Amino acid sequence: MNTHRLKGAGILTASAIALSLALTACGGSSDASTASCTPKHPGIQTVAPGKLTVGVIDIPPFSSYNSGKPNGIDIAIVSNIAKDECLEPAYQQATYADAVQSISGGNIDLAVGTIDATEKRLKAVDFSASTYLDGMGIVSKSGATTVSDLEKMNKVGTIDGYLWVEDLKKILGDRLVTYPSSVELKADFDAGRLDADVDAYGVQVLQFKGAAGVKVSLANEKPDARVGAIAHAPEAAFPMTKGNKSLQEALDAGITAQRADGTITKLLTGAGLSEGLGKVAEKQYVVPAS
Amino acid sequence: MTWLTEWAGYLPQMMAGLGVSLLIAGISIFFGYPLGLVLSLMVTAKNLAVRTLGLAVVEIGRGAPALVILYLFYYGLPKFGIAFESITAACLALTWNSAAYSSEIMRAGLQSVARGQLEASNALGLSQRDTFFRVVMPQGMRSAIPGLMGVAIQMFQGTSLAYGIAVPELMKTAYNIGSQDFNYLQIFTLAGLCYAVISMPATWITVFFEKRMARHT
C-alpha cells in the first residue's frame, strides 16, 4: 500500500516537473519578439527576457497602479513603447522611496510617476528622454497665483521630493510644511490647516476638479526667479537602469516619436491638462545639483 | 568613506529630527504611564460602567494600529471642528497608545502581588488606600518596570509614524534628504543608526532590570 502511494507520488511529481518544463518551453517559444512581432530595436536587455518590468508610483493622472490594472499618461506612453518593442509590460507597485533601489537592484527596468531628471538623481539612475514638463501648481481659496502671494500666507503645504521644496523653504521658512504625498497634503488643505496647496499642477487639476471655492493655477505661467523649478520647469522622464543603452535608445525613440506624432499632447489634454506641458526643450533639461 | 563624509553633512539635520522624536516619545510616556495606571484600575474596577469604559479605551488603543490613531486625531477630528497642530496630534495619539499598552503591564504587575500581602495589610488594619499605595503599588510597579521600559522603546520607535502627519521628526528628515537624490538606502541607514543609538542601550538597560527583578523573585 505504502509502495503504491510512493509510486503514485513519484509519478505525480514527475508529471508536474514535465508539465512545468513544457510550460516554460512554451513561454519561451511564444515570445513575441521571436514570433510574429518584429521589435523596432532588437536585442533590448531587460531584467526579465521578453518583458518590460515597470515600477508604478501612484500619482494620478500620470500613473496609477489601480489594483493591478495600471492606467495614466505614463502608463500609456510605456505600453506604446513596449508594444513597438515586442515586450510584454509587467507592472508592479512602487513608491518614490523604493523605485530607484528597485532599479539599481535589478528588480525593475524603469519607474513611472512624474520623476524629474536631475543631476543628483543621475548619479543613481539614467533617465529616458523627457515626456512632459512638470509644472508647479498652487491651489488656494484666495486665488494665489505666484510665490509672492504665498509669502503673504501663514501656512503653505507641499510634498517632499519636489524640486521647488528647497527654494520655497528659503522663502517661506517654517511656514512651509511638507507631506509624504498628495493625499496627506490635500487632507490638510481640506481640513483648513493650510492656506495653499503646492503640488504638481497635473495632480491638482484632477484632485480639485469641480471643487467649489478653490483656484488651481500654474505657477510657471508667472515665473519667480527665486524658485528654480518655476523659472525653468523640470522635465519628467523615466528613471531606468544605469548603463542600459539598449533600453535607453528604445525608450528615447518611443518617447520622441510619441511627442512628434502628438500622442503625448493628446494624453495630456485628455486628462484635462494644458497642452503646453508637452513642450519640452529640444535638449533634455537636467535640473542642476544646486 | 563617501557615505561617512555625506552622513557627517546630514547629521545636524538628523539631530534636529531626533530631538523632535525624543520630545514626542517623552511626552507620550510622561502622560501615558499615569493614564495607563488609571486605566489599569478602571479595567479591574467593580463598577461595570467604569470597567467597560476602561476596557474600551485600552482595547481600541492596543487594537488599532498607531498610524490609524494618528490619522484619526490629525485628519479625522477637523471634521468635528477640532484641529490640532501635527505635533500635538502625534503626542495625543501616542499617549493613548502608550497608556493602553502600559495599563495592561501595570494591571498584570498589580495582580501579581501575592494575596497574602493583602491579607496581612487587612490584618494590620490598613485602609484600602494605604494598602494600595504602600503595599500593592510598590511591589506591583516594581515587577512592571521592565515591561514599561519596553513600551518606552516601542513608543520612541513609534514616533517614526508621525511622518505621515507632517511632524518634522527623524524619519521625515531622512525622507526629506533622500528625496533629493533618491539615495534613500544611505539616509535610511543613517536614520536606522540614530534609532539604534537610543533603542539598543535602552534595551540593554531593560534586560539588566529584568535580570535584577528575577534575582529578587
The string of pLDDT tens digits covering residues A2-15 is: 444 444 545 544 55
pLDDT tens for chain A, residues 1 to 290: 344 444 454 554 455 444 444 444 333 333 444 568 899 999 999 999 999 999 999 998 999 999 889 999 999 999 999 999 999 999 999 988 788 889 988 999 999 999 999 888 898 899 999 999 988 999 999 999 999 999 999 999 999 888 899 899 999 999 999 998 888 899 999 989 999 999 999 899 989 988 999 999 999 888 899 998 888 888 999 999 999 999 999 999 999 999 999 999 999 999 988 888 898 988 898 888 76
How far apart (Å, rounded) are the C-alpha atoms in residues B11 and A222?
Answer: 37
Nearest-CB residue to A191 (from B83, B175, B185): B83
pLDDT in tens, B169-199: 999 999 888 887 777 888 999 999 999 999 9
How far apart (Å, rounded) are the C-alpha atoms in residues A126 and A244?
Answer: 8
Continuous segment of H or E residues that includes residue A157: strand A156-159
C-alpha cell at A24: 516554460
Q: A279 touching B, CB under 8 A?
A: no
**Distance, in angstroms, between A90 CA and closest chain B CA?**
23
Rounded to 10 degrees, what is the CA torsion of B201, B202, B204, B210? 170
Chain A contact probe: residue of B182, B186, B188 with most A CBs at under 10 A: B182
C-alpha cell at A108: 525593475
Interface contact flag, A160 B176, Cβ < 8 Å: yes
Rounded to 10 degrees, what is the CA torsion of B163, B166, B76, A155? 180
pLDDT of A67 reads 87
Q: Look up cell 467649489; give the residue.
A: A212
How far apart (Å, rounded) are the C-alpha atoms in residues B97 and A70?
Answer: 37
Q: A160 touching B, CB under 8 A?
A: yes
Nearest-CB residue to B75 (from A97, A165, A191): A191
Nearest-CB residue to B178 (from A97, A157, A239): A97
pLDDT of A168 reads 95
How far apart (Å, rounded) are the C-alpha atoms in residues A20 and A13?
Answer: 11
pLDDT < 50 regions, chain B: none
pLDDT of A110 reads 97
pLDDT in tens, A169-207: 999 999 999 998 888 899 999 989 999 999 999 899 989
Q: Look up cell 506604446; give the residue.
A: A80
Q: Please, are residues A191 and A131 in contact by the beta-carbon 8 Å criterion?
A: no
Average pLDDT over all residues of chain A: 86
pLDDT of B1 reads 57
pLDDT of B217 reads 56
Interface contact flag, A160 B175, Cβ < 8 Å: yes
What sign does the dihedral A265-A269-A271-A272 (CA atoms) show? positive
Q: Provide the residue type at B165 as one letter.
A: I
Q: Please, are residues A287 and A113 in contact by the beta-carbon 8 Å criterion?
A: no
Our measurement of the distance from residue A122's CA atom to the centroid of its chain's CA atoms, rounded to an integer in Å, reads 16
How far apart (Å, rounded) are the C-alpha atoms in residues B52 and A144?
Answer: 51
Nearest CA in chain A to B171: A180
Question: How far is it between the farthest Cα atoms of chain B?
Answer: 72
The per-residue DSSP string of A244-269 comes to: -HHHHHHHHHHHHHHHHTTHHHHHHH
Cis peptide before A61 (omega within 30 of 0): yes
Alpha helices for B44-85 (secondary structure H): 48-63, 66-71
Q: Which residues from B are below 8 Å from A when comparing CB atoms? A: 75, 78-79, 83, 86, 163-166, 172, 175-176, 178-185, 188
Interface contact flag, A98 B180, Cβ < 8 Å: no
Rounded to 10 degrees, what is the CA torsion of B151, B171, B10, A167? -150
C-alpha cell at B152: 518606552
